[in-house]
Amino acid sequence: MQALEPGGNGSVASAVENLLTGHAGWFQVVVDPQGKFPCVKDEDGNTLVTAECSIDLPAGQPSFARSNRYHDLAAYAQDNWKITPRLTLNLGLRWEYYGVQHNKDPKLDSNFVFGTGSNFFEQIRNGQVFTVGATPNSPASPVGGLWNPQYHNFGPRVGFAYDLFGDGKTSIRGGYGISYERNFGNVTFNVIQNVPAQFNSIFQSGTVGAANPQVLETNNLGPFAGTGTKALPNSSLRYVRQDLPTAYAESWNLSLQREVLHNSVLALEYTGSHGIHLYSIENSNQRGFGVVYLGTDPVAHNSIDRLSRQYGNMNTRGANGFSNYHALNTRLSSNNLFHQGLDLVVNYTWSKTIDNLSSSFSETPQTENLGLLDPFQPKLDKGLADFDARHRVAISAVWNLPYAKNFHGVSKQILDGWQFAPIVTARTGNPFTVFDSSANIGDTVAARYFVPTGVSIPASGNSNNADPVGANAFTFSTLPVSPTYTDPLVGSGELPTCDMVVNGDGNQVSTGQNCRWPSNMTSRNFFRGPGVYNINLGITKVFPVTERFKLQFRSEFYNLLNHSNYYVQTGAAADAACVSSTLAQDPNYCGLPQAGTPLALIGKRGVNPAGGVPNERRFVQFGLKLIF
């Protein structure tokens, strides 16, 4: 259950108030569908109720127990060849087999299977859900699992090391390899939510923001309590594409290393990688997809017709992700530098990471929608990765003070045995996306910010704003009001516009061809936040007690300078819809009320929206260790 709030966006204050008064915005329930499947809707959006899609009330609880099994196998061989005294070659080959996920009781798992059709859209329209096991409901399957097995996952590995001048002080090293990755459990385990073993649906309270929303259900079964029968409405799906390939990445590197001082190496290193078939999640059955891609007449029939008329959102487990990474690293490492007891590592990295999906679930605040913006145009989300940092410096050292080693008595106890270990890191800011949900029709995606005509939008703002907007807060950047974009047939800002024709009824319908988004829509992660830095320090003192026993005192300072970095508050706070009169009045959603004004991107000190540093502060800890 979610409490209702006036703007329909789940803000804390108004939602709690409605919760206390017993009102619900929506009610979610999970029941045993008794082996039945949801009813199908006709082209006008009317539910076709039959006995085959109705269950007896009261409904029971489904089984939540699963015992998923895999059978994995891998083989690896490698060898080194000393081609010449100065050249060493390494060759290897790894073969991976990741077994298909299957449940101990196959009747509990089900998956969506594409139907017939000349294109992907028709195959979704004609597709069905089948249980995975060998039952009358299942289609013929060579594996009895969720996807077809992959037996060709061969990963070659090649590496070399070359002594450039033959003096053991300068080397060139390089390598190339392919690595495969299993699809991790939570992505595929979620098929537990599918019919006919489990029915999961959300019931709306009616008009969002209504003066008298429905009273909170008093029974855990909600609409499935009571007696009689109940037709199963459209339910959501979590399905895995049967043609799912194994994700893999190509990696390569080349480095030049030179001993510049005794035990001191200077290195110039290049690293690159290319991710292919990375695991993705996208909603392939959004409202309006039937109008946009299959040409449903929005005037004569259902204006928000889906591709599948039996199911709601279909969160597809696919492999539409890709990535590219390039980095140049300069490194100086030294042991006992100048014989002064100092071990030092200094790294500077320039890098650029481009992808279309930085994580399968898109759970970072930079990505406020589930998966890809357009599941049929994966390249539309090509942009900087959520974690891209163009410049990064890392310095670490361990300094064992050598100056009192030959002291004796009290002076040795006081001055000898000290160790200092600082770690300094600094990087440029990560990118983020500004979304626009002002024309959202309530599915899992929102379009990105649209740039007004003739306006130049800076990618970065200023964290040194002298006019703070609140305690430890600042206006990082101010963006003009985003132009309104809606699909001409569906009236939604989360769908592309395709070529259109006039049908026999004189209405415009989509051809499903040449589908495009406005050219003034910003790219994913177009904006970039401010840089951050941090300093940690460890100080250790060893006190000799006897020849066998030593007492070590440790002090560790995290965020030594008690420095708070600046972070732009992304997610809902970076939604261009906040300029509308409906959402802008709710500071819990938009950050600050700003109806009819430009969108202000708010930053805060020490509050990282990614969750890695919820509240930056200095931490100090002390410890004693007895060494013997």
Quote the pLDDT of residue 91.
97
Distance CA 302, CA 45 (A): 5
Q: Spell out the domain ranges in the chain.
A: 1-62+196-231
> Is residue 142 pLDDT above 60, yes or no?
no
Mean pLDDT lowest among 88-102, 281-295, 333-347, 578-592 = 578-592
Q: Is the pLDDT of residue 139 over 80?
A: no
Q: With contact defined as beta carbons under 8 Å apart, do 370 and 328 qualify? A: no
What's the mean per-residue pLDDT of the chain? 86
pLDDT tens for each residue of 206-227:
443 344 445 556 677 878 888 9
pLDDT digits (tens, 9 = 90+) for 23-53: 666 677 899 999 999 999 999 999 999 999 9
Span 441-468, pLDDT tens digits? 767 678 899 999 988 988 888 887 666 6
Cis peptide bond prior to 422, omega within 30° of 0: no
Mean pLDDT of 260-285: 95
Asked if residue 6 has pLDDT above 70, the reply is no
State residue 190's pLDDT score.
87
pLDDT tens profile 168-199: 999 999 999 999 999 877 788 888 899 999 99
**Is it the case that residue 595 has pLDDT exceeding 50?**
no
Q: What DSSP element (H or E) covers 129?
A: strand 128-131
Residue 201, pLDDT score: 80
Longest C-alpha distance within the chain, in Å?
104
What are the start-end ranges of the E strands in 471-593? 473-479, 500-502, 508-510, 527-528, 532-544, 550-558, 566-568
Instruction: Specify the higher pLDDT residue, 591 or 616.
Output: 616
Yes or no: say if 174 and 164 are a contact pair by the CB < 8 Å rule.
no
- Residue in the block written with tokens 């996306």: 433
The token pair at 542 is 């060893």
